[in-house]
Amino acid sequence: MRTSVVKDPGSGFLIGDAASFSRCPVTVLRTQFLKVYREKCFEFVIDHETYWDNADKDCRSRGGHLATIGDKETQVFIMETLRSIGFNKHGIWIGLNDREHEQHWVWATGENLGSYRNWGNQQGNGITHLTDDCVHLRYIDGGQWHDSPCHLGTYHYTYICQYRKYFDCFNFITPLEVSRIKKSYMNEIVTRNCNTTIFNC
């Protein structure tokens, strides 16, 4: 696990190891809760709990979605990360949901549920399936997937956002990011991570 994290002296933000994070969106803070796996950046938001909709909205505000777990390797990566960051909650939202069409499971990215599934016992199609439309990874159940109401009562959890890695240092600057971050600060990040400067400001 990478532990190379330095604090930006100007903003106080944590800036991660350039080699691992340089192609993650600049909108995502470089902390110990940001991990890179294959071609995606995963942000583990474990400092507060909320409903599924709010969680996905928060991910989207930084250009991502709630996380997709498309295969066993990704599931293992997530469980190992949760262990390594000292996760101590019952569960954590992932992107899987059947909100639009009952029993038609899709990820927050719009992808259909593939062949890999990790449902817990009686989950996904249990007797309460009509109201259980959003899925969390139940940490205390070995990481098995549990469907529950998306925004009701006590069903709020921490969550995992995912972002695609940008192709290169120049492509990771999008209009959304420019609007959200001061150019001078972005310049610092780009200079640090890409060894170049993109704005004259």
What residues line the site for Ca ion (CB under 5 A)?
98, 129, 133
C-alpha 139/C-alpha 117 separation (Å) is 15
C-alpha 65/C-alpha 63 separation (Å) is 7
For residue 147, the surrounding DSSP H or E stretch is strand 144-148
Q: How far is the CB of 121 from Ca ion (least distance, A)?
A: 16
Q: How far is the CB of 91 from Ca ion (least distance, A)?
A: 17
Q: Which is nearer to Ca ion, 56 or 133 (CB)?
A: 133
Of 145, 151, 90, which Cα lies nearest the Cα of 123?
145
Q: Which is nearer to Ca ion, 33 or 107 (CB)?
A: 107
For residues 125-134, one letter each, b for 16 or more C-beta atoms within 10 angstroms of the residue's C-beta and e for the rest, the string is eeeeeeebbb
Q: Which is nearer to Ca ion, 1 or 130 (CB)?
A: 130
Q: Which is nearer to Ca ion, 16 or 95 (CB)?
A: 95
Q: How far is the CB of 152 from Ca ion (least distance, A)?
A: 13
Q: How far is the CB of 122 from Ca ion (least distance, A)?
A: 13
Q: What are phi and psi of 172, to 5 degrees?
A: -85, 0
Tokens linked to 137 = 């990874």
Q: How far is the CB of 106 from Ca ion (least distance, A)?
A: 12
Q: Which is nearer to Ca ion, 56 or 98 (CB)?
A: 98
Provide the pairing of β-strand 14-16 with 5-7: antiparallel
Phi-psi region of 38 (alpha: psi -120 to 50; beta: other; left: phi over 0): left
